[in-house]
Amino acid sequence: MIRESLREKSRLDDRIYFLEPQNLCTEALFEFAPQTDSRLQNIPERPLEPVSSTKKRIKIEIPQNYQEEPVISRLTSEYGLTFNITEAMLENSNIGNGLFDLELQGTPQQIQSALDYLWQLKVKILEINCS
């Protein structure tokens, strides 16, 4: 029936249509989905509020015992920051700490959460400058 009405309107294409639900879950979804769609259409649109983004420049010293850990990349993956490594000093062997000059960009809350994460790891934060 659905296929016939679509064919009449020349709207039949390569999409797959579920014409006869094979289990109770799919059947329940078909009954519920149109109701959900109609409720979503009645939600008034609101403009997105601008997110205040800020930059901070930090100098950190990462202890040698974290050399195998993705400490800096977690600033992006877990805290949503964009970062730029503006300077780095690493020892030639695996016996020294790593020094990094980072420029962090994100919301004030994201930056604070990332700094808390670094403090929890006992990473030395040598300098913090706001831009």
Q: Token match 């329940």: residue?
A: 28
Which pLDDT score is estimated for 14? 46
Residue 77's Cβ-count burial label (10 Å; 0-12, 13-18, 19+) is: exposed
Distance CA 85, CA 106 (A): 15
Asked if 119 and 125 count as a contact pair (C-beta separation under 8 A), the reply is yes
Residues 122, 67: one domain?
yes
Residues 32, 80: one domain?
no
Amino acid, single-letter form, for residue 51: V
Which pLDDT score is estimated for 112? 94
pLDDT along the chain (131 residues), means of 10: 52 54 69 60 68 88 87 93 92 79 94 94 85 61
Residue 89's Cβ-count burial label (10 Å; 0-12, 13-18, 19+) is: exposed
Smallest Cα–Cα separation from 86: which of 69, 106, 104?
A: 104
**Distance in angstroms between the alpha carbons of the first and the last residue of the chain:** 63
Range of the domain at 9: 2-41
In a domain, 46, yes or no: no
Q: What is the domain count for the chain?
A: 2
Which pLDDT score is estimated for 6? 52
Residues 33, 58: one domain?
no
Which pLDDT score is estimated for 40? 62
Dihedral (CA of 88, 91, 94, 95) sign = negative
Which pLDDT score is estimated for 1? 47
Residues 58, 113: one domain?
yes
Which pLDDT score is estimated for 56? 93
